[in-house]
A and B are shown apart, each in its own frame.
Chain A
Amino acid sequence: MPWHRKHLLTIEDLSRAEIEQLLATAGAFRRILDRKVKKVPALRGKTIVNFFLEPSTRTRISFEMAAKLLSADVISFDAATSSTSKGETLRDTAQNIQALNADMIVLRHSASGSPLYLSRVLDIPVINAGDGAHEHPTQALLDVFTMREKLGDLQGRKVVILGDILFSRVARSNIHALTKLGADVTIVGPSTLVPHWFEAMGVKVSHNLRSALADADVVMLLRIQHERQASSHFPSLGEYTSMFGLNKTRAGWLKPDAIIMHPGPINRGVEIDSDLADSPRSVILQQVTNGIAVRMAALYLCAGGQPEAVLTPA
């Protein structure tokens, strides 16, 4: 099946087959990452602009790395250095980037729906690198890629997403990706950050950590996003840690082969104890490495590349 999507805006839009294609393509690029010479010429001559209107370390570097390994030229800039601080609208800034001959835009924005908006006003592909509390598609793809690496098929697998779900785009994209791939998803955390509305997205909502962890194959921790919250969502980080932080005792409730994931940045001692973050069951850094491959796949496919070309190299 050929790939014909120009933008990668959400996981919600993708069919299961498209997710499989992205993951398979990422798999091919992942193997390249283990080679001595990691660079491939797939996007030579293309210019990719990373347009980040919200702080980011991992995602931005990961996208830059992915673009460079595909031999694209990459320019990254953020809110502080862009004309948005001079009152230029998103549309105008983006149209200027396009007029400067960019072939693709990777957008990180605090306002949900901005990548969709941009995809309507630009002719070039738009890749969503996280929009508000909406979606973070490449994060979810790298998460399921990593889960598959560890667990194989995700059909019927139990995934617990623990933490601040309400404000999390990572949670939303993962919910879409995991349910499409047949996993059972339970979201856990304080009732104020894990509202029952999420049930409509096909997941279980729980506030009982012990029973949720008991049969989990994966526990994915999310950071408490204090910057997005009103003070009323929970009493304190200390209370959060005491009720929902993953420590040794609670990790003992997990099955022995269950894995621990985190999209980062992690707050050690808040949502996860250092011991666990650094333990063998933690795949946090493997997620980061896999992120490069997944983003290579996203950039490659949306730039017009076809999965077959990398899956069956000549």
Chain B
Amino acid sequence: MPAFLIIKNGRVIDPASKRDKVGDVFIADGKFVAGLTAAQKKKARTIDARGLVVCPGLVDIHVHFREPGQTHKETILTGSHAAAAGGFTTVVCMPNTSPVADNAGTIELINNAARKAAVHVYPTGCITVGMKGQQLAPHGSLKKAGVVAITDDGLCVESNELMRRAVEYAKMFDLTVLDHCQDESLTKGAVMNEGTVSTRLGLRGWPHAAEDIIVARNIILSAYSGAHIHMQHISSAMSVELVRRAKKDGINVTAEATPHHIALTEEALGTYDTNFKMNPPLRTEKDRRAIIAGLKDGALDCIGTDHAPHTPDEKDREFDYAPNGITGLETALPVCLDVLVRQNKFKLPYVIDLLTRRAAAILKLPAGTLAPGAAADVCIFDPAATWTYDAKQGFSKSLNSPWSGQKMTGRVQTTIVDGRIVFAAGKIV
């Protein structure tokens, strides 16, 4: 691999430096540079990006790579391949592994595997020991071991007292708390959104009030403590509005939306297809529209996929018994292009911003820009290419995607991490 790379004639979009122009991107020794000398150019490898978009590598602060302990679903390596294939160069792994990542040793294990990954993989640590919601995990040691945030994702910290102490304590280490907002007393046995569809299907409903209550709780605790709290995968219209108002009041909260919550609704569950079962569940058209509006006006900060692989055997069950979660890394970009750019007239640079700089900024990750000096992480995609996504041909170890077999518009051509091509022409390099 040559140390010099020129990406020529692409539409270069870098929201962080307000760049949107056809031109070239130069890379030397794994970093972006403003230009190359004639001698360097001679040695450089050139990628022709005519007709393609060249943007910072995408950033996903919400993935489940299942290592350690659930490597039959995904490994850090296979997950990183799915990321690279989807144009993502930086991902943040949730700690609900087996064992859970509530101690420095487990983080070290993850970091060791992450060194062999195709993209930058950052770990998070648990908020509470064993994710049991009873006792704070050692946030300081976790930080020293390299976590970029703490979260009990998959579970909500139910106790208000413990959540308060968690955000106060984590603040000392400049660690953001990511919360999965779900009042579990309201969602016992729930498998989908509560409403007319759950009523018709005879499935237990998960009322959006259960999310709204915890979002409101977190806003109050953030206002009280000054700590930054990030709300994961917002699914309800009321939660969007709560975050919007909190931001207006200057409260230090952020929030993310998933591609599936902006693209799909509970109506998709009519045939009890477990590839549409996730937590929080798909909700109504009104919620979907509110989330899109929230992304547009900044109430919501970024896209996070909540990439959650499960094997076909695990998903091939009665709906009630199938695990929650869908994969998302390989489809996030085309889904966002379709829903946000084509259907809702978002400007392309803004959507890229949601997938790069804004996501990175929430956790202050060194990613999401093409600026000289930054790590040379690039996503090159063809915004017009149409293709059919087939999970079986994908890179995740699991196949649980609601989009398998669907036609997609917009396809990643090349993914570059630290100046090295990791994905090109449909293959991991």
Q: Are B200 and A113 in contact (CB under 8 A)?
A: no
Closest chain B CB from A178 CB (angstroms)? 15
Whether A230 sits at the interface, judged by CB under 8 Å, is yes
* Bound CA–CA A166/B195 (angstroms): 12
Which B residues touch A113, using CB under 8 A? Answer: 201-203, 271-272, 318-319
User: Which of A109-154 touch B at CB < 8 Å?
Assistant: 109-114, 116-117, 131-135
Whether B196 sits at the interface, judged by CB under 8 Å, is yes
Which A residues touch B202, using CB under 8 A? Answer: 112-113, 131-135, 169, 172
* Bound CA–CA A79/B198 (angstroms): 26
Most buried by B among A91, A111, A166: A111
Contact partner, B203, options A12, A112, A200, Cβ 8 Å: A112
Contact partner, B195, options A134, A197, A201, Cβ 8 Å: A197
Chain B, Cβ-Cβ closest to A169: B202
Query: By the criterion of a CB under 8 Å from any partner CB, how many residues of chain B are at the interface?
Result: 20
Whether B320 sits at the interface, judged by CB under 8 Å, is yes
Whether A90 sits at the interface, judged by CB under 8 Å, is yes
* Bound CA–CA A133/B194 (angstroms): 14
* Bound CA–CA A166/B205 (angstroms): 11
Q: Are B195 and A112 in contact (CB under 8 A)?
A: no
Contact partner, B320, options A111, A116, A135, Cβ 8 Å: A111
* Bound CA–CA A217/B297 (angstroms): 55
* Bound CA–CA A117/B195 (angstroms): 22
Closest chain B CB from A3 CB (angstroms)? 23
Q: Are B319 and A117 in contact (CB under 8 A)?
A: yes
Whether B321 sits at the interface, judged by CB under 8 Å, is yes
Q: Are B201 and A197 in contact (CB under 8 A)?
A: no
* Bound CA–CA A135/B272 (angstroms): 14
The 8 A CB mask of A88-110 against B (1 = contact, 0 = none) is 01110000000000000000011
Whether A195 sits at the interface, judged by CB under 8 Å, is yes
Chain A, Cβ-Cβ closest to B188: A230
Chain B, Cβ-Cβ closest to A133: B202
Whether A240 sits at the interface, judged by CB under 8 Å, is no
* Bound CA–CA A131/B318 (angstroms): 11
Whether B21 sits at the interface, judged by CB under 8 Å, is no
Q: Are B196 and A197 in contact (CB under 8 A)?
A: yes
Whether A198 sits at the interface, judged by CB under 8 Å, is yes
Which A residues touch B144, using CB under 8 A? Answer: none
Q: Are A89 and B317 in contact (CB under 8 A)?
A: yes
The 8 A CB mask of B203-214 against A (1 = contact, 0 = none) is 110000000000
- Range of interface residues on chain A? 20 to 34
Chain A, Cβ-Cβ closest to B272: A113
Closest chain A CB from B294 CB (angstroms)? 25
The 8 A CB mask of A159-170 against B (1 = contact, 0 = none) is 000000010010
Chain B, Cβ-Cβ closest to A201: B200
Which B residues touch A195, using CB under 8 A? Answer: 199
User: Which of B318-342 touch A at CB < 8 Å?
Assistant: 318-321
Q: Are B201 and A134 in contact (CB under 8 A)?
A: yes
Contact partner, B199, options A89, A117, A198, A230, Cβ 8 Å: A198
Which A residues touch B272, using CB under 8 A? Answer: 112-113, 116-117
* Bound CA–CA A132/B191 (angstroms): 13
Which A residues touch B204, using CB under 8 A? Answer: 133
* Bound CA–CA A230/B201 (angstroms): 19
Whether B48 sits at the interface, judged by CB under 8 Å, is no
* Bound CA–CA A15/B202 (angstroms): 20
Closest chain A CB from B195 CB (angstroms)? 6
Chain A, Cβ-Cβ closest to B320: A111
Whether B316 sits at the interface, judged by CB under 8 Å, is yes
Given A116-B272, A197-B195, A230-B188, decide whether A111 and B319 contact each other with a Cβ distance below 8 A: yes
Which A residues touch B203, using CB under 8 A? Answer: 112-113, 132-134
Which A residues touch B199, using CB under 8 A? Answer: 166, 195, 197-198, 200-201
Given A112-B201, A112-B203, A116-B271, decide whether A132 and B196 contact each other with a Cβ distance below 8 A: no
Closest chain B CB from A185 CB (angstroms)? 14
Closest chain B CB from A13 CB (angstroms)? 11
* Bound CA–CA A200/B195 (angstroms): 10
Which A residues touch B316, using CB under 8 A? Answer: 89, 91
* Bound CA–CA A91/B199 (angstroms): 26
Closest chain A CB from B414 CB (angstroms)? 39
Closest chain B CB from A201 CB (angstroms)? 6
Which B residues touch A166, using CB under 8 A? Answer: 199
Closest chain B CB from A116 CB (angstroms)? 6
Q: Are B320 and A200 in contact (CB under 8 A)?
A: no
Q: Are A111 and B321 in contact (CB under 8 A)?
A: yes
Chain A, Cβ-Cβ closest to B321: A111
Which B residues touch A116, using CB under 8 A? Answer: 271-272
Q: Are B201 and A200 in contact (CB under 8 A)?
A: no
Which B residues touch A197, using CB under 8 A? Answer: 194-196, 198-199
14 contacts between A and B (CB under 8 A): A89-B316, A109-B318, A111-B319, A111-B320, A112-B202, A113-B201, A113-B203, A114-B318, A114-B319, A117-B318, A134-B201, A172-B202, A197-B199, A200-B196
Which residues of B does A touch, CB under 8 Å? 188, 194-196, 198-204, 271-272, 313, 316-321
Which residues of A does B touch, CB under 8 Å? 12, 89-91, 109-114, 116-117, 131-135, 166, 169, 172, 195, 197-198, 200-201, 230
Q: A134-B202, A230-B188 are known; give 20 further A-B pairs, CB within 8 A.
A: A12-B200, A89-B316, A89-B317, A110-B320, A112-B202, A112-B272, A112-B319, A112-B320, A113-B202, A113-B203, A113-B272, A114-B318, A117-B272, A131-B202, A132-B202, A132-B203, A132-B320, A134-B203, A169-B202, A200-B199
- Top 10 nearest A-B pairs by Cβ distance? A134-B202, A113-B272, A133-B202, A111-B318, A197-B199, A200-B196, A112-B202, A111-B320, A113-B319, A114-B318
